[in-house]
Amino acid sequence: MLATLAFVSQFWPESSGSDLAPSYSSAGIVNSASNQAPLSPNAIASLYGTNLAYDTASVTQSDIGSGALPTVLAGVAVYVAGMPASLYYVSPLQINFLIPANLRPGDVVVFVARQGTRGPFATVTLLTASPGLYQVDGETIVATHSDGSRVTTAASASGGEVVLFYCTGLGPTNPDVISGQISQTLAPIQMLADLRVTVGTATLGAQQIFYAGVAPGVPGLYLIQAQLPDTMPADPAVQIALGAQISPPALKMAAQ
């Protein structure tokens, strides 16, 4: 790692004495679903800071003509362990990017490069998995019915129904994914035996989880297709866990 940092510093020195240089810290690099650390390979991450980009840009169809997410967007790149990361979104205050899927757990260095200007080296810790559920707001998770329509207060989920949860950070898959590649192939997670999904006070059995793996067409996004308990409280809390890593508590799903 030290040799890599020395090489980058030699040919891409950090800007100094400029209030326009990208500014951020390790604490501002988090799981995009949970908004917390830690992270894991093939997780979608958010980096918060200032002066990260001159413009705001999101990935468009023209950016993925090669079948993969771009590694440069609006003149901005993010490097993780010396590798250019795939990008979803850049703005002056936030970047959403993909932790490369081929990395191993451990400490890695992240930095932002913006049109010849480099921000500081920030060290983040990668674990095998870092589960986080995507949210509609600070209290409610994103879930859909089997027909793809959103679970909402007006169209809530029912006991015994099969729903989809949307998450990131569920770790390696079988087969392995190619980092950033737009694939239409299902790939279940390798840690399926360690996956726990809790709805209200009930932990779903293995027979109630029909799929847990990557979402075709969206690198870094994972799906859990599961059957809800026959009986559950209104608007139950939902958590997912892989080993000791657990998604944030107190997140609910609209349900009768």
What are the DSSP calls for 239-251, one per residue?
EEEETTEE--SS-
- More confident: 101 or 256: 101
Q: How far apart are CA 142 and CA 33, in angstroms?
A: 10
Give the rounded distance of the alpha carbon of 73 from its chain centre.
18
Residue 173 backbone phi and psi in degrees, to 5: -125, 170
* Residue 212, helix vs strand vs coil: strand
CA atoms within 13 A on the CB side of 18: 12
Q: What type of residue is 30?
A: V
What lies within 8 Å, CB to CB, of 42 at 6+ separation is 98, 99, 100, 101, 171, 172, 173, 177, 179, 214, 219, 220
Q: Is 216 helix (H, G, I), strand (E, B) or coil?
A: coil
- Summarised one tens digit per residue, pLDDT across range 95-116 is 999 999 999 999 999 999 998 8
Question: How many angstroms separate the CA atoms of 247 and 182, rounded?
Answer: 26
pLDDT digits (tens, 9 = 90+) for 119-171: 999 999 999 999 999 999 999 999 999 999 999 999 999 999 999 999 999 99
For the chain, what is the mean pLDDT? 92
Q: For residue 5, what pLDDT is reported?
A: 40
Torsion angles phi and psi, residue 24, rounded to 5: -170, 175
Predicted local confidence at residue 197, as pLDDT: 98
Cα first-last separation, the chain = 52
- Strand pairing partners for 209? 226
Structural domains of the chain sorted by starting position, each given as residue range(s) with its CATH number in brackets? 2-126 (2.60.40.10), 132-246 (no CATH)
Q: Which residue has the tokens 């600070």?
A: 138
Give the confidence band of 7 by pLDDT, cuts at 50, 70, 90.
very low
Residue 41: exposed, middle, or buried by beta-carbon count in 10 A (0-12, 13-18, 19+)? buried
Tokens 């093939």 -> residue: 42
- What's the CA gap between 60 and 163, in Å, rounded? 28
Report d(CA 255, CA 36) in Å as an integer. Answer: 26
> pTM of the full predicted structure?
0.92
Is residue 3 very low, low, confident or very high in pLDDT (cuts 50, 70, 90)?
Answer: very low
Spell 78-108 as b/e; 16+ CB within 10 A means b.
bbbbeebbbbbbbbbebbbbbbbbebebeeb
Where on the phi/psi map is residue 75: left (φ > 0), alpha (ψ -120 to 50), or beta? left
Q: 214-225: string of b/e by CB count within 10 Å (b at 16+)?
A: bbeebbbbbbbb
